[in-house]
């Protein structure tokens, strides 16, 4: 058995090591890309599949620095393969409902200009033709938390990064299902429709808030894209590939001007009414 003085010394060493360890962010590295200082940077939420992955791939092809985020990077196989192929792609953990995730990522990229902050992460929620008497209000709160509040959380965490960039753009992916004009008589999709209509107003409010900082906040709609979400919705008509939609939306983002911020642009350049 060790003498008491040795046990005490060992305890002090363990305590000191614990303090030293907890003084750093416990934030795992996945794939930190070799970002080029002379290229613009995009941060994309929900980029492990579907449209988000299409955005990540298209921006990587353009030579941008890509910060591609996912709730579970360990299982984002395609995203990890993309990062292995393109050194300008970084894969990061980000759950837009998790304050610790957001804060950790913001600390990691503190001082890093982000030209385009692209809020793509979203969930569909229940799609049955429910009536108001059988809504699941907990599920409604969850969909709003991801699709609407999550966008504001991410914008709040990275608005300084956007301001220090050259392009200064914050975008959110919305949908025609959030239009009260075009879906006013439509049944079903309570949760998703409410969340996207609320997102539209959130982005209008955000734009008014940040325009004095030289930042524009805009809304884009991807059309019918062949993703798991579209399949879950029950839609069986024609659709775009994620890469087709992402490339068209990036072209809109590239040409976006400050006087376009109160308009929702579809992937084909058409305006979606409020």
Percent of the chain with pLDDT over 90: 66
Q: What is the pLDDT of residue 229?
A: 73
Rounded CA separation 119/154 (Å): 8
Q: Tens digits of per-residue pLDDT, 92-116?
A: 999 999 999 999 999 999 999 999 9
- Do the domain assignments include residue 33? yes
Structure tokens at 208: 């008014």
Q: Residue 191 CB: number of other CB atoms within 10 A?
A: 24
- Do the domain assignments include residue 21? no
Rounded CA separation 234/195 (Å): 19
Find the CATH number of the domain harbouring 103: 3.40.50.720
Range of 200's domain?
29-272
What total number of domains does the chain contain? Answer: 1
pLDDT (mean) for 245-255: 96
Look at 198 and 132; give whichever has higher pLDDT: 198
- Do the domain assignments include residue 144? yes
The answer to whether residues 161 and 114 touch, using CB atoms and an 8 Å cutoff, is yes
Quick check: 128 pLDDT over 80?
no
């Amino acid at each position: 058995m060790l003498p008491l003085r040795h046990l005490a010394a060992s305890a002090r060493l363990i305590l000191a090591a614990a303090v030293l360890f907890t003084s750093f962010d416990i934030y795992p590295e996945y794939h930190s890309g070799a970002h080029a200082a002379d290229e613009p940077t995009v941060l994309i939420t929900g980029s492990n599949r579907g449209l988000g992955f299409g955005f990540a791939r298209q921006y990587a092809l353009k030579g941008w620095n890509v910060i591609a985020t996912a709730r579970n990077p360990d299982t984002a196989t395609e995203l990890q393969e993309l990062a292995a192929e393109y050194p300008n792609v970084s894969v990061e953990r980000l759950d837009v409902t998790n304050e610790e995730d957001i804060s950790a990522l913001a600390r990691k990229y503190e001082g890093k200009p982000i030209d385009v902050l692209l809020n793509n992460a979203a969930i569909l929620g229940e799609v049955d033709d429910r009536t108001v008497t059988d809504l699941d209000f907990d599920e409604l709160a969850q969909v709003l938390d991801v699709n609407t509040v999550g966008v504001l959380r991410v914008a709040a965490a990275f608005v300084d990064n956007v301001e220090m960039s050259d392009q200064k753009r914050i975008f959110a992916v919305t949908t025609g299902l959030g239009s009260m004009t075009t879906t006013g008589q439509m049944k079903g999709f309570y949760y998703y429709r409410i969340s996207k209509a609320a997102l539209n107003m959130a982005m209008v409010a955000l734009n008014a808030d940040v325009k004095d900082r030289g930042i524009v906040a805009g809304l884009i709609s991807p059309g019918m894209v062949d993703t798991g979400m579209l399949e879950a919705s029950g839609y069986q008509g024609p659709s775009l590939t994620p890469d087709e939609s992402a490339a068209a939306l990036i072209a809109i983002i590239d040409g976006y001007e400050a006087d376009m911020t109160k308009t929702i642009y579809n992937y084909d350049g058409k305006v979606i009414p409020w």
